[in-house]
Structure 1
């Protein structure tokens, strides 16, 4: 029986999904976690989780907390609710981070959750609790939405 050529054998196989290397590493995370986040963002069915959303959410969360001084910070509502403008609200950035953490595999989830937890501690220190959040805010079951917001 004649031998089949390797090219013919490869052509008959199922096409493999090639994962691309992420365009860039997310600051403060390992390359492996950045690749897992990139994969999760590409496969997610959530409208607000798209390639690059986690990096954008982390940058927005860090920028909000980087304001110098000791005065309380107040999250602001976004101008519009499109995917890009919604990151003006730091609470939305935290929503995206929570969704990505939920979808990640175990080890990358732990690394991202550790990074987010450190930012959460600073968020709690720099914002004030809102006693009327349940009446004013949708998603008030989420602790970061129960903080006092600006106009």
Structure 2
């Protein structure tokens, strides 16, 4: 599936690449393993596709794209992996009340969380 969709689709700046789903899951898990009660998302610092996954919202975008493209059995399996990660992200990040001013419309809820350096209310 990754090889078939190795292009820029559905808002993914770098599209999918061979190993994108595995990399996205790895970065998502690593983000949630960080210590502390609350976590802030970080902006990416490089244009390399895998470097963009430092921003866990980009990693989640890749997983969302894969969930839409995979056939039903594989989609269900990936969904079982993503659901607890999403629950952890919701629990350990705070909503950003000003996200609508900064981020594209139609992005997933994971784009509307506080980023590093944002004002905590």
TM-score range, shorter chain: 0.7 to 0.9
CA offsets per residue over residues 83-135 of structure 1, 9 Å max, x none? 13211111100000000111000010011012101100000000000111100
RMSD: 1.4
5+ residue gaps, structure 2: 9-14
Pairs aligned (count): 111
Once residues 46 and 132 of structure 1 are traced to their aligned partners in structure 2, the CA distance between those partners, rounded to angstroms, is 31
Counterparts in 2 of 1:141 and 1:41: CA distance versus 1, 3 Å: closer
Do structure 1's residue 54 and structure 2's residue 21 form an aligned pair? yes
Q: How does 1:67-146 map to 2 (within 5 A)?
A: 67-70=34-37, 72-139=38-105, 141-146=107-112
CA offsets per residue over residues 3-57 of structure 1, 9 Å max, x none? xxxxxxxxxxxxxxxxxxxxxxxxxxxxxxxxxxxxx011114342111010000
Instruction: Give 4+ residue runs of structure 1 displaced > 3 Å after superposition.
Output: none
TM-score, with structure 1 as normaliser = 0.69
5+ residue gaps, structure 1: 1-39
Moved more, 52-61 or 76-85: 76-85
TM-score, with structure 2 as normaliser = 0.85
